[in-house]
Chains A and B, each alone.
Chain A
Amino acid sequence: GESVGLHLPTLSVQEGDNSIINCAYSNSASDYFIWYKQESGKGPQFIIDIRSNMDKRQGQRVTVLLNKTVKHLSLQIAATQPGDSAVYFCAENGGSTLGRLYFGRGTQLTVWP
Chain B
Amino acid sequence: GAVVSQHPSWVICKSGTSVKIECRSLDFQATTMFWYRQFPKQSLMLMATSNEGSKATYEQGVEKDKFLINHASLTLSTLTVTSAHPEDSSFYICSAKTGGGEAFFGQGTRLTVV
Contact = CB atoms under 8 A, between A and B. Distances in A.
A binds B: yes
A46 B100 CA distance: 15
Contact of B107 (A36, A43, A99, A103): A43
Interface residues of A, number: 21
Which of under 10, 10 to 19, 20 to 34, or 35 or more describes the interface residues of B? 20 to 34
Interface residues of B, dominant DSSP: strand
Given A41-B108, A44-B93, A46-B1, A101 B43 contact: no
A98 B50 CA distance: 11
A42 B109 CA distance: 9
A8 to B, nearest CB: 14
Interface of B: 1, 4, 6, 32, 34, 36, 42-46, 49, 59-60, 93, 95, 97, 101-108, 110
30 contacts: A1-B45, A1-B46, A1-B59, A42-B107, A42-B108, A43-B4, A43-B93, A43-B95, A43-B105, A43-B107, A44-B44, A44-B93, A44-B105, A89-B44, A91-B44, A97-B101, A98-B49, A98-B97, A99-B32, A99-B101, A99-B103, A100-B34, A100-B49, A101-B34, A101-B46, A102-B46, A103-B36, A103-B43, A103-B46, A106-B43
